[in-house]
Amino acid sequence: MLTVRELTKRYGDKAAVEGLTFTVEPGRVTGFLGPNGAGKSTTMRLMLGLARPTSGEALVNGGEYARLAWPTRQVGALLSPDAAHPGRSARAHLTAKAVGGGIPRSRVEEVLEEVGLTDVARQRVGGYSLGMRQRLGVADALLGDPGVLLFDEPVNGLDLDGVRWMRDLTRRLADEGRTVFVSSHLMSEMEMVADHLVVVGRGRLITDAPIGDVIAAWSRTHVLVSSPDSGRLRERLEGLGPRVRVEDVEDGGDGRDTAGGEGVRGGGTDRGPGLRVFGLDVTEVGDHAHAVGARVHGLRLEEASLEQAYLELTGEAVEFGSRPAKGEAAGAPEAPGRTADAAGGAAGANGPVR
């Protein structure tokens, strides 16, 4: 298990991480999401004792990393694909680490096999592709057969097969009961692998909740309806109570709404005024239209994705100061789980962690 309590890390007057509190539980994949500079790598480095917190704590299995008796057997991490010396072979790198960590040498061959590097294990790491170096980083993390794993952007540089392999491996590690903490900016990837999400923006916690709750609470799944009698339909739907919300589709006049999607009828010129209806399914909207005699020229479900949920969650954290404060955004739903105001805090380019 990983525990972060009131964790703050400042560089000068800039907070890379500010007041973060969350736990990463065993037996599930926890995705760690946030835009560039949100503080993900810094948090992982603090967990691994590679940087010291300004205040608060980051614990591995209830203790500080520096105090773990056999750290490589308790926690494994992939932070960078360039952790191994380029002049060494993968086998030499892993063997040196095994010897230093009190890990049997036989384990080296096991992890090489696991990550698919056995055939190139004698080659110098300097000649490896980025994907091969990522695989070596994973082998390094798995070497001590630890119960806690941290992967920082593990699919960077992997081809499609590699991405699938990483996804399966991550799943299996969690199913074995390990604590698996994976950072990524790839929402589509997280959607396929994470059970739980910790989302950060500008060093602060935005949400900490099961992935389904994040999607349900933040996504904008809705029914898109096109009707020349939309006024009548809107009146009917608005009378259904707070559960149902209706928005106009802002048509730029070219058959495309402002969200960039196609118009309700796919861009034809004969489409009627459009409505977005939240809180009802397609059949219900159709039935209500029929009940008030509103003609329907188009009707379809617009499914929300995690990508949309993520953009909703981190929008403020990305666009510094250009959006209204949290809660002021029209129709912004409450985030699930524990939340914190993402405004303020640090932002800017990455730098080496001290």
Ligand X SMILES: Nc1ncnc2c1ncn2[C@@H]1O[C@H](COP(=O)(O)OP(=O)(O)OP(=O)(O)O)[C@@H](O)[C@H]1O
Beta strands in the chain (DSSP E): 2-11, 14-24, 28-33, 55-60, 75-78, 148-152, 179-184, 196-201, 204-210, 222-226, 245-248, 274-278, 298-302
Is position 36 an interface residue for ligand X (rule: CB under 6 A)? yes
Q: State the nearest-atom distance from the C-beta of 60 to ligand X, in Å.
A: 18
Q: Which of residues 223-262 bind ligand X (CB under 6 A)?
A: none
Does position 268 interact with ligand X (CB under 6 A)? The reply is no
- Can residue 184 be called a binding residue for ligand X (CB under 6 A)? no
Rg (the chain; Cα; Å): 24
Q: 308 to 347, contacts with ligand X by CB under 6 A?
A: 346-347
Q: Are strands 245-248 and 274-278 parallel, antiparallel or unpaired?
A: antiparallel
Per-residue contact flags (x/-) with ligand X for residues 4 to 23, judged by CB under 6 A: -------x--x-x-------
Q: Using CB under 6 A, which of 2, 29, 34, 225 touches ligand X?
A: 34
Residues with Cβ within 8 Å of 69's Cβ and at least 6 positions away in sequence, in order, are: none
351 counts as binding ligand X under rule CB under 6 A:
yes
Shortest reach from residue 38's CB to ligand X, in Å: 4
Would you count residue 144 as binding ligand X (CB under 6 A)? no
- C-alpha distances in Å from residue 180, one per residue of 14, 72, 174: 29, 15, 6
CB of 40 to ligand X, least distance (A): 4
Does 348 sit near ligand X (CB under 6 A)?
yes
Cα 118 from Cα 12, distance rounded (Å): 45
Q: How far is the CB of 172 from ligand X (least distance, A)?
A: 26
Distances (CA, A) of 74 to 57, 77, 307: 18, 10, 33
The region of 30-38, 107-115, 130-138, 191-199 touching ligand X under the rule CB under 6 A is: 30-38
Residue of 95, 190, 177 whose CA lies nearest to 143: 95
CB of 113 to ligand X, least distance (A): 30
Binding site for ligand X (CB under 6 A): 11, 14, 16, 34, 36-42, 185, 346-354
